[in-house]
Structure 1
Amino acid sequence: GSAIGLSGRDALVGADNDEVDAEGQGAAYLFAGLSAPANLCAECEQSYADFEAQFLARQSEMAAGNVDDPLEVSEAQRIVHGDGSADDAFGHGVAASDDGNTILVGAFGTNLFQGAAYVFERQDDGTFEEVAKLMASDGKAGDSFAGYVALDGDIAVISAHRQDAGPNASLVNTGAAYVFERTDAGEWVETAKIQPPGLEPFALMSGSGGIAVQGDTVVIGAYNQPCEGVPFNQTAHEISYDYYSEYNP
């Protein structure tokens, strides 16, 4: 799997080179864990206890030599995007909401590596349907938008690790990240662009999966940004959600 997201006992696994209708189009696979509830609910605590009991019993059987295979999980759904094409790399970045009802999947190869992210929501029958396609408002070919994604509640943070910065885009591949929020009407709207000052060329901010969001805090890695004069050192920017405007005047 090129990327993994976890929500409760459900696992979301990206397969960005999966040949759906064309080579390199990509897909994501949702796996439902043993005894996993479909949604978080009042019975979850008991369901988890049941799962733990079955897991421990299975481990005991394996130790005694009675079984030699791990816990089984079942594939629940293969997830693909509606406008997929060759080399989209859909599934390179995946994320799932804590309640298990929203999935975010990146396809950084779309439109000559301009990139796009796709939102899927759980329907009444338990399957997921595509409800939105997210793209950077100032995106261009080569930005690799949505190579990596993060999701927390109604906030999505999406990488663009090969975006340029500076006058006339003179600082190449510094990287950036974009914040999208889900409105009360269910629409996803871009609300901020994060590209802190001081990034060096080829900093690749938000690259290699270095992006996370929780509440009002976003942490973004910039693994090629020099740190104390030493190149190729892992660095990170922690940005309070209340101060996005500092980086996006």
Structure 2
Amino acid sequence: MGTLRMILTLTLLSACFASAADNPARDPSSLPTSAQARISASLGKDRPEYFVHPVSGGFKADSRGLASRFTQTGVEVNSGSARWGLALRGYGYRRALHSVARVAPQAAKNRVEYRRGAMTEWYVNGPMGLEQGFTVAERPGKRNGQPLTIVLDTSGNLTTTADDGGRDLELTSADGRAALRYAGLTAYDASGKELTAYVRVHGEQLLLQVDDRHAQYPVIVDPVVQLAKFSASDGKPADEMGVSVGISGNVVVAGTFANAAYVFVKPPTGWQDMTQTAKLTPSDGGGLFGVTVAISGSVVVVGAPGANQNQGAAYVFLKPRGGWRDMKENAKLVASDGAPGDTFGSVSVSGDTVVVGAQAATINGNQFEGAAYVFVSPNMVSTNAERPILTETAKLTASDGKGGDRFGGAVSISGDTIAVGAQTASSGAGAAYVFVKPPTGWVTTTETAKLSPSDAGGFLGGSIATNGSTVAAGAMAAHENGAVYVYVAVDGRWANMSETAQLVAVKRGWSFSQSVTVDAGAKAIAVGAPQGNGRQNGAGDVFIFVEPPGGWQNTSRYRYRVFASDGQDGETFGVAVSISGKVLVVGASAARIGNNAAQGAAYLFGAQ
């Protein structure tokens, strides 16, 4: 006996833009919950405008310009002249599908159910559209080596196209305009193991497939959903909040181009109710303060590469005993041998250790060769000292560094491992360098390992992230489309190597890999593509890749694709990304907030 819960979310696209503009006060994108399916369903349950109403032959429901009708023959959704129908045909394993009979729908408040013995098909209406799900009470026979499949017949006047990742569907009208979208899937079994799920189009049929060969029932299949959208309470046009983001546990930090960074703390009621908790500013005005940020536990570090005639600085903030509040820095970091123009300011932090890159530093007469600096505090975290002592204990450089390499343009630290990008090394191919802390502590040194591309690369190291055992390095010019090169330590040890795998963009011109982040378990890598099509052309995307059971492999097949529910052209969603646990934060620095162009915003996503 088991339960399969498959959730797909239909969200109105182009028609939704018009309805929001006509009545902005009722635009659900103004809700902090945005597209989060669970919250949408909960709101719909308490708001009569999302209730299901009886009509001749069945029921009807309305949501944000999307009209749905439920009858014995199936479900039809309409948006203006766009029409799309779904009718469950069967489920099981492809060669032995259980056909289903027509049944009358049953409804209560904002929920409709079609009950067919072991299979219940259900729909929940809410502010962000119609959520579809299936509950299978028992395994439907023997697998015969095939995926569990749910088959739906489609009808209407829309063309259905699956994306390359098999996670989303786009439904377009005859003139090519997007009308509806079917959101991405994620699947888990009873043990919490993630399963593979796909949406496929086969003629006039829609196939929902789950690889359950090693699954322990019940199996849960959910989309990655938007948990919240947030912006600065005092934001102004061109602030570009979200140009940098970081998350650690229940705390998010977002940087700006306006010499400020903002802290948001998850309240007890959940992310959806999050508002700005603190504004962090420098005591001396900084210089591009906020274009980089990092967070680890109670420590936030903000980079200011334009400070002191572009010499650069980094500012350290410690959470006060009473919690985050508006404040100035607890410590300011500068390079001991810094010079004007070094642009010291790319930042990362792990525990008591801060690493700061200076990509334009001159090394042995080589201009723009670059360096990274390590600062360690014996009391920063353990005592939460108001004025922590951070000592520059190491200067990191590349053993084969040359002028123009820009080593230090991107840095990442996790525990005892530091990864540094040098995106213009090797005549623009790029490279990444790994440094492992010696037993006696951080000291001035060259790399433990150099990570190189096996091919021509293309600005490899322009973005970088590590969890200690895995390094993900972005290469925006690789293969013309962009790629992320994944490197995995062998038996826990780093050595000079070429990549273990490449994660490749599916489209050209999306700025794929401008940002990258790795989860602590190295099982997921999120890649920003701020010029991706998202909800609208050029609004931006983030692609999430999940490590296969046999380890990372070359692929362009992502597991999830996420985008802003209210994204507009040019908002650069994906310009910055950071992950903590199962929560992803994404910056959209050019997002319009009210009448403020490019005020900027950040979005949170997570599995239900």
Instruction: Please give the TM-score of this superposition, normalised by the length of structure 1.
Output: 0.73
Partner of 1:198: 455
Query: Which amino acid letter does the alignment assign opposite residue 300 of structure 2?
Result: A
Matched, 1:16 2:305: yes
The answer on 1:247 being equivalent to 2:498 is yes
Provide the C-alpha distance between the structure 1 equivalents of 2:317 and 2:442, rounded to a whole number of angstroms. Answer: 27
**Is residue 416–residue 468 contact of structure 2 (8 Å, CA) maintained in 1?**
no
- The 1-side partners of 2:294 and 2:442 are apart by 22
Alignment of 1:164-175 (within 5 A): 164=426, 172-175=427-430
- Amino acid across the alignment from 2:483: T
In structure 1, what is the Cα distance between the partners aligned to 2:496 and 2:461?
Answer: 19
- Which residue of structure 1 aligns with residue 474 of structure 2? 221
Aligned mates of 2:497, 2:420 — CA distance in 1: 18
The alpha carbon displacement at 1:123 in A equals 3.6
- Structure 2 residue 257 is matched with structure 1 residue 4: no
Report if the CA contact (8 A) 1:33-1:74 is conserved: no
1:98-117: CA deviations, max 9, x gaps?
A: x2x10000001111101011
Equivalent in the alignment of 1:136 = 398
2:373 maps to 118
Q: Distance in 1 between matches of 2:495 and 2:298?
A: 33
User: How many residues align structurally?
Assistant: 194
Q: Per-residue displacement from partner, 1:140-189 (whole Å, max 9, x unpaired)?
A: 1100001110101111000110101xxxxxxx211000011111111455
- Cα pair 2:487 2:498 within 8 Å, conserved: no
Corresponding residue to 1:159 among 392, 397, 421: 421
CA contact (8 A) 2:404 2:424 kept: yes
Q: Deviations over 1:38-75 (max 9, x none)?
A: xxxxxxxxxxxx74xxx8xxxxxxxxxxxxxxx42341
Contact 1:33-1:73 at 8 Å conserved across structures: no
Percent sequence identity over aligned pairs: 36
**Aligned amino acid, residue 466 of structure 2:** V
Q: Point out which structure has higher relative CO (alpha carbons under 8 A, 6+ apart).
A: 1
Q: Which of 345, 349, 373 is matched with 1:96 structurally?
A: 349
Flag structure 1 segments of 5+ consecutive residues without an equivalent.
36-49, 56-70, 165-171
Name the CA distance, whole Å, in 2 between partners of 1:187 and 1:13.
Answer: 22
Change (3 A) 1:80 1:245: closer
Residue type of the alignment partner of 1:196: P
Residue 108 (str. 1) matches residue 394 (str. 2): no
Equivalent residue, structure 2, for 1:235: 483
Kindly provide the amino acid, as one letter, of the partner of residue 216 in structure 1: S
Contact 1:218–1:240 under 8 Å retained in 2 = yes
CA–CA separation in structure 2 for the residues paired with 1:86 and 1:94? 18
1:180 alignment counterpart: 435
Amino acid corresponding to residue 237 of structure 1 in structure 2: Y
What amino acid is aligned across from residue 295 of structure 2 in structure 1? L
Q: CA deviation at 1:234?
A: 3.0
**Distance in structure 1 (CA, Å) of the matches to 2:330 and 2:496:** 41
Work out whether residues 162 and 173 of structure 1, in 8 Å CA contact, stay in contact via their aligned partners in 2: yes
The verdict on how the C-alpha distance between 1:108 and 1:127 changes in structure 2, with shifts beyond 3 A counting, is same
* SS across alignment from 1:173: coil
**Higher percent of residues as strand:** 2
Counterpart residue type for residue 12 of structure 1: V
1:86 aligns with 2:310: no
Is 1:211 aligned with 2:464? yes
Equivalent position SS for 2:448: strand
Displacement, 1:10? 1.8
Alpha carbons of structure 1 residues 187 and 128: separation in structure 2 relative to 1, 3 Å = closer
Larger radius of gyration: 2
CA distance, structure 2, for counterparts of residue 234 and residue 30 of structure 1: 33
**Shift of the alpha carbon at 1:245?**
4.1
Contact persistence 1:87–1:109 (CA under 8 A): yes
Deviations 1:71-98 (A, max 9, x none): 423410111111111100001x11101x
Q: How many Å apart are 1:6 and its aligned residue?
A: 0.3
Residues 184, 78 of structure 1: alpha-carbon distance in 2 compared, 3 angstrom cutoff: same
Question: Measured at CA, do residues 176 and 27 of structure 1 come closer, stay the same or move farther in structure 2, by a change above 3 Å?
Answer: same
Q: Check 1:18–1:30 CA distance in 2 against 1; reply closer, same or farther (3 A cut).
A: same
